[in-house]
Amino acid sequence: LDSSSILADRTKQINASAIREILKAASRPGMISLAGGVPAPDSFPIEVIRKLSNKILDTYGASALQYDLTEGFPPLRTALSGYLANKEIFAEPDDILVTSGSQGALDSIGKILISPGDGVAVEAPTYLGAIQAFNPYEPKYIRLDSDDSGLIPSSLEKALSSHRVKFVYLVPNFQNPTGRTIPLERRRKIASIIIRHDVLLVEDDPYGDLRYQGSPIPGIKTMAPHHVIYISSLSKVFAPGLRIGFCLAPQFIRKWFVAAKQGVDLHTSTFNQALAAEYISGSYLSQTLPKIIRMYQPRCKTMLDALDQYFPEGFHWSRPDGGMFIWVEGPTGFDMQNVYRESLKNKVAFVPGKYFYTAKGKGLETMRLNFTMATKEELDSSVKTISEIIKDRMQVGTH
Ligand SMILES: Cc1ncc(COP(=O)(O)O)c(C=O)c1O
Strand partners, 232: 246
Say whether pTM exceeds 0.85.
Answer: yes
Q: Is the pLDDT of residue 374 over 50?
A: yes
Residue 74 binned pLDDT confidence (cut-offs 50, 70, 90): very high
**CA 281 → CA 77, 83, 85, 117, distances in Å?**
11, 9, 13, 43
3-state secondary structure of 318: coil
**pLDDT over 70 percentage in the chain:** 99
Ligand 1 neighbour 206 (Cβ under 6 A): yes
Ligand 1 neighbour 268 (Cβ under 6 A): no
pLDDT digits (tens, 9 = 90+) for 305-324: 999 999 999 999 999 999 99
Instruction: Return the closest-CA partner of residue 166 out of 123, 121, 131.
Output: 121
Q: Is the pLDDT of residue 396 over 70?
A: no
**CA 381 → CA 68, 173, 235, 302, 345, distances in Å?**
49, 28, 28, 10, 15
Question: For 179-189, what is the mean pLDDT?
Answer: 98
What single-letter DSSP state applies at residue 322?
A: B
Q: Do the strands 96-100 and 244-248 form a parallel or antiparallel pair, or are they unpaired?
A: antiparallel
Instruction: Return the closest-CA partner of residue 140 out of 179, 166, 171, 106.
Output: 166
Distance in Å, CA 2 to ligand 1 centroid: 35
Q: Is the pLDDT of residue 152 over 60?
A: yes
Ligand 1 neighbour 240 (Cβ under 6 A): yes
pLDDT of residue 124: 95
pLDDT of residue 172: 98
Ligand 1 neighbour 203 (Cβ under 6 A): no
**pLDDT over 90 percentage in the chain:** 90
Distance in Å, CA 241 to ligand 1 centroid: 12
Distance in Å, CA 324 to ligand 1 centroid: 12
pLDDT digits (tens, 9 = 90+) for 14-59: 776 777 788 888 888 999 999 988 999 999 999 999 999 999 999 9
Looking at the chain, list the stretches that DSSP marks H as alpha helix, in order from N- to C-terminal side: 3-6, 18-26, 46-60, 74-85, 101-113, 128-134, 153-162, 184-196, 251-265, 270-281, 284-310, 336-345, 376-398
**Do the Cβ atoms of 133 and 106 come closer than 8 Å?**
yes
What single-letter DSSP state applies at residue 368?
A: E
**Do the Cβ atoms of 270 and 257 come closer than 8 Å?**
no
pLDDT digits (tens, 9 = 90+) for 88-129: 999 999 999 999 999 999 999 999 999 999 999 999 999 999
Ligand 1 neighbour 103 (Cβ under 6 A): yes
Q: Is the pLDDT of residue 398 over 70?
A: no
Residue 102 CA, closest ligand 1 atom number = 11
Ligand 1 neighbour 129 (Cβ under 6 A): yes
pLDDT of residue 399: 43
